């Protein structure tokens, strides 16, 4: 069974369509997608909610075959990931753990890694191989899906300066609020993980007139058919 994880019910409805079950944040429900058993999970927004709820899911369903984090997010570079486009994470970054200086946050200076995969410590970033993980879950990522590093924040970026800082220091493409927590949980449980976001806005000043949330939700509804239409035996 695959876990399909959303921060909000609206993202779940947009993505799953008729397969969506009406549940609240912090809940989950078993559903069927393209003939496959899946678990619809709605965590609530932010890395803490994501960690708490998915931790409960892992304890309740220890035999999951993989996890997909699905939703909308902001793009640092619209030339790379445009409004209404879709992107899959090649890396997840957590920029808020470590020793903070004027220049940046030094994760390893604190001396406590976030987790461990085999002999490798996880500090403030983890690599994701989306195509390998997709194959392990029996799905396929469309070639048109942009592959970029994602960054997880607890507070959404709202200034040009902060956006440029994150983009320059971390070389990130998409901003989100849950991915690192979910990816860390999967990494420490040796569970295949994918994170896919459709772009609703450019990271920076919150100018709602430039947002394209409806366009992002419309594209989110095309993600599941794209992933599952050509199931891999």
pLDDT digits (tens, 9 = 90+) for 90-118: 999 999 988 988 788 888 888 898 988 88
pLDDT at 231: 52
Is the separation of the CB atoms in 110 and 168 below 8 Å?
A: no
The encoded tokens of residue 181 equal 């927590």
The region of weakest confidence among 113-122, 187-196, 205-214 is 113-122
Is the separation of the CB atoms in 198 and 72 below 8 Å?
A: yes
152-165 mean pLDDT = 96
pLDDT at 100: 87
In a 3-state reduction of DSSP, which class is residue 137?
Answer: coil
Question: What distance separates the 2 farthest-apart alpha carbons in the chain?
Answer: 52
Tell me the pTM.
Answer: 0.96
C-alpha Rg value of the chain to the nearest Å: 17
pLDDT band with cut points at 50, 70 and 90 for residue 65: very high
174-203 mean pLDDT = 97
In the CATH scheme, what is the homologous superfamily, with its name and number, of domain 70-228? Nucleoside phosphorylase domain (3.40.50.1580)
**Angle subtended by helix axes 179-188 and 47-60, to nearest 10:** 30
């Amino acid at each position: 069974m695959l876990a399909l994880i959303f921060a909000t019910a609206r993202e779940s409805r947009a993505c799953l369509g008729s397969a969506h079950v009406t549940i609240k944040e912090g809940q989950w429900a078993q559903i069927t997608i393209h003939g496959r058993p899946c678990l619809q999970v709605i965590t609530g927004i932010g890395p803490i909610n994501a960690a708490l709820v998915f931790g409960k899911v892992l304890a309740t369903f220890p035999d999951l075959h993989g996890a997909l984090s699905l939703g909308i997010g902001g793009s640092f570079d619209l030339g790379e990931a445009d409004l209404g486009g879709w992107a899959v994470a090649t890396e997840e970054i957590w920029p808020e753990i470590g020793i903070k200086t004027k220049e940046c946050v030094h994760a390893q200076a604190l001396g406590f890694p976030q987790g461990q995969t085999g002999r490798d410590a996880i500090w403030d970033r983890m690599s994701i191989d989306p195509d390998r993980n997709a194959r392990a879950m029996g799905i396929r990522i469309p070639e048109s899906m942009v592959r970029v590093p994602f960054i997880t924040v607890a507070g959404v970026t709202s200034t040009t300066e902060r956006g440029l800082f994150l983009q320059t220091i971390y070389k990130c493409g998409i901003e989100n609020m849950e991915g690192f927590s979910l990816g860390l949980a999967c990494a420490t449980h040796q569970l295949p993980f994918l994170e896919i976001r459709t772009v609703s806005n450019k990271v920076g000043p919150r100018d709602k007139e430039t947002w394209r949330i409806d366009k992002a939700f419309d594209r989110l509804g095309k993600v599941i058919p794209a992933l599952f239409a050509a199931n891999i035996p």
